[in-house]
Amino acid sequence: MKKVIVGVSGGVDSAVALYLLKAAGYEVEGLFMRNWDSSINNDSEGITLATDICPQEKDYNDALAVCEKLQVKLHRVDFIQEYWDYVFKYFLTELAQGRTPNPDMLCNRYIKFDLFIKEAEKLGADYIATGHYARLQDGKLYRAQDKNKDQSYFLADVKAEQFKNVLFPLGDYVKSEVRQIALRENLPVAQKKDSTGICFIGERHYQQFVQNYLKKNPGPIIDVATKKVIGMHTGLMNYTIGQRRNVGIGGNTKRHFVCGKDVAQNILYVTFDEKYLYSDECLIENVNFISEERPTSCTAKFRYRGEDYPVMLEYLANNEIRVKYPEMVKAVTPGQACVLYLDEECLGCGFIKKVRLHNADIWYLP
């Protein structure tokens, strides 16, 4: 009998993954990862007087209840320092450079499909499994059956070899079916809400949370069309391209958007005309290919739940690719992932280094 160590988070998806694998005849055990400690990491928002238990401990108790219900052993491991070193430092560094990072992708690459696998091997695992909505076949990564929940986007930075001996039990299920299974089997987390926010940290008031780690650095807000100062920002790390709420030009009711940053001069650019949000190409770096395919044309997603856009690829030196898209795309954002697909297969990704604004015919580099 093959042994599977399942990453159990305290949520419904990992609980059902655990159930499905046990029902399929595998020897299964759970492993709960604790990667964030609010008291150690200066996260005052994660500790409140209104609760007598921190969110991470609540999740552990939920994971334990699931394992007890299914009569499965649950292990626990702390990767708090590793998460800080490999994921959170990157998150802060990217913000400080004016980019919009995606910590979930680094979390998958360095925590869930590296440290977790090594810990599972110590426990004698033949396979590891998670509650991700994605599919693996012959070493290739594919979108999940449930396109609304598909998480291949967040897995695109994982190395191909890291997917060896990995199972995604939910890949052929839709979310409603997963909920139905949880309810049918009376799993303790059957009606628990899905987690949101930063990977392993959860929901936070974003600007307040970031200011725990990066100092405020106010500067001018400039209208990109008129070049006039129209307000003051609280720090470039608090804004992302396309943002239209809480920008900081109080009293101005005209629809406006963040469209650029100049980190060197600490300027936030805002536009009242959406044309300044559209680009026709970008440069991606630190490219990771899961597939052996190297197409010159495919489709790309520039954000999770975003549309698929036809793109043309020009392979450059230094592991960079110039990505050209004939259909203008709105709010392509430096620091975010550009994930490449060939039909249902996820080829891999690169991180957006700079963007060429179509209407301005210039490269935007934060």
Evaluate the CA torsion angle 333, 302, 287, 33 in order and state its sign: positive
Catalytic residue among 107, 338, 346, 349: 107
User: What type of residue is 214?
Assistant: L
Residues 6+ apart with CB under 8 A from 251: none
- The 3-state DSSP class for residue 230 equals strand
What Rg value do the Cα atoms of the chain yield, rounded?
Answer: 22
Asked if residues 289 and 347 have their Cβ atoms less than 8 Å apart, the reply is yes
> What is the C-alpha to C-alpha distance for residues 164 and 136, in angstroms, rounded to an integer?
10
Choose the catalytic residue: 199, 259, 338, 346.
Answer: 199
Q: Is 107 known to be catalytic?
A: yes
Q: In what order do the strands lie in the sheet with 257-262?
A: 229-233, 219-223, 267-271, 257-262
Indicate if 259 belongs to the active site: no
Q: Crossing angle of helices 12-23/175-184, nearest 10°?
A: 70
Burial of 26 (0-12, 13-18, 19+ CB in 10 A): buried
Residues carrying an active site annotation? 107, 199
